[in-house]
Amino acid sequence: MATLLIIDTAGEKAMVGISQNKELLAMEQNEVANTHASFVQVAIEKVITKAQIKLSEIDAIVVTMGPGSYTGLRVGLASAKGIAYAISKPLIGLSTLTLLSNAAKSTHSYTEQGQNLQIFAMIDARRMEVFGAILNKQQQHILQEQSIVLDTQYLETLLVQGPVLCVGSGVEKTKALLQHPQLFFTERVYSLEDCMELANAKWDTQIFENIAYSSPSYLKDFYQKPV
């Protein structure tokens, strides 16, 4: 059983926690999106103190790799890489879309639908665009992570293959496009417990990131409005 330091700064809410033996010992949260950079290091010190764990006792550093906030992803990965390198411990990367799909397992729509259910994990991007992936009930990818422009035809094409459960911050866009008896929605967000669950699965199979060369999953180029 591993002792893990978990860092998530991919979204509007940032989370930092310590888990040990698949139990969350301590956590800190920040809900002010543009202050994640100042939050992370302080939060790491706090959770280590609360959990009474030395930094050297951590077995791996866990970080969300995206997609998500451009700045937030850079902040989280830079912090995680720095600690992993400093204490010579492995780095575990998590997909925010896989985390959303995993979180959807606890919803009524998920449990009521059969094995052909498609889980459409989506993070709001600009206009009618989302960062999305589609997974099955075994959490295997039907459609790999990519930037997707939502429209009625796209959703109807998915529904030909079976029921669709939409989860994530792009749900409101999808609701506005189509109402269908086989199209389900949940605003469920992933938690630090979801991060812990998937991170432990990667620890068990020893799936680690390359500390030197790993980079965030932006899925599209960063756009900055001209000034």
- Residue 93, strand partner residues: 63
Whether residue 86 is found in the same domain as residue 154: no
C-alpha radius of gyration, the chain, whole number: 18
pLDDT confidence band for 221 (50 / 70 / 90):
low
Mean local confidence (pLDDT), 188-207: 96
Over residues 98-117, the pLDDT tens digits come to 999 999 999 999 999 999 99
Please tell me whether residues 8 and 91 are part of one structural domain: yes
Looking at the structure of the chain, the number of domains it has is 2
**Residues 133 and 198 occupy one common structural domain:** no
Number of Cα atoms under 13 Å in the Cβ half of residue 66 = 24
Number of Cβ within 10 Å of residue 89's Cβ equals 21
Distance, in Å, from the CA atom of 8 to the CA atom of 153, rounded to the nearest integer, reads: 34
**56-90: pLDDT as tens digits:** 999 999 999 999 999 999 999 999 999 999 999 99
State the average pLDDT over residues 122-135: 94
Residue 103 is assigned to a structural domain of this protein: no
In a shared domain, residues 52 and 120: no
Q: Is the Cβ–Cβ distance between 11 and 71 less than 8 Å?
A: no
**What pLDDT, on the 0 to 100 scale, is given for residue 34?**
84
**Ordered alpha helix ranges (H), 22-170:** 36-51, 70-87, 96-103, 108-112, 152-160
The domain in which residue 128 lies consists of: 108-186
Same domain, 9 and 91: yes
Give pTM, 2 decimals.
Answer: 0.93
CATH at 132: 3.30.420
CATH number at residue 74: 3.30.420.40
